[in-house]
Chain A
Amino acid sequence: DGGITQSPKYLFRKEGQNVTLSCEQNLNHDAMYWYRQDPGQGLRLIYYSQIVNDFQKGDIAEGYSVSREKKESFPLTVTSAQKNPTAFYLCASSSFVGDTAELFFGEGSRLTVL
């Protein structure tokens, strides 16, 4: 079945370590997104990409990095510069960056910094 796969589902990290979250989609979608979710704060956009080899910062990009070398893949690296990385991370995709296109979400990755 088509969909978005995020891995790992749970991840623990020590302070000062970088960690990379994987996001793969087989929906042939052009656009991909990373959101961060904290209790009571909704979803906040970290980065998004409309085409391969191009991406834009969202509202809270500091301390994060991404790459888009393939259409299917959009990994997110949480760097040691991110002051409060413990959160639930959601990857999403859409067919095009158009007005009516909805987002399709993965199951999420929960990162805990020890």
Chain B
Amino acid sequence: AQSVTQLGSHVSVSEGALVLLRCNYSSSVPPYLFWYVQYPNQGLQLLLKYTTGATLVKGINGFEAEFKKSETSFHLTKPSAHMSDAAEYFCAVRDDKIIFGKGTRLHILP
């Protein structure tokens, strides 16, 4: 069965520092992978997705993620954190349906 593991339920970074949110997945078939962001009391918004082709995927708000098949990972990065990046981030994998990780709350320190 497919599954998604996000390492760290809370991550804190200083403003201007690198953001790294970790996601590992298990899937019996080539995966389709997604990162979503959720601001308080709102729905989820798609940041980026990997389907096929280039393994480095660029998304909105300066985020990107790299699909590494050998490591079954799809980590989300941003070179320089901004206060507005404070939110909860969800990794997801689609097989016959979309499965979400439990989320990582990103805190930005001034």
Contact = CB atoms under 8 A, between A and B. Distances in A.
B98 interface: yes
Interface of B: 9, 32, 34, 36, 41-46, 49, 51, 90, 94, 97-98, 100-103
A102 B43 contact: no
A interface, how many residues as a size bin? 20 to 34
Interface centre among A40, A42, A58 (most CB of B within 10 A): A42
Nearest to A9: B41
A99 B103 contact: no
Interface string A85-109: 0001010100000011111111110
Nearest to A48: B97
A27 to B, nearest CB: 13
Given A42-B102, A42-B103, A99-B94, A108 B9 contact: no
Contacts of A40: 9, 102-103
Given A43-B90, A99-B51, A105 B43 contact: yes
22 contacts: A6-B43, A35-B100, A40-B9, A40-B102, A42-B90, A42-B100, A42-B102, A42-B103, A43-B44, A43-B100, A48-B97, A58-B97, A90-B43, A99-B32, A99-B94, A100-B94, A102-B34, A103-B44, A105-B44, A106-B43, A107-B41, A108-B43
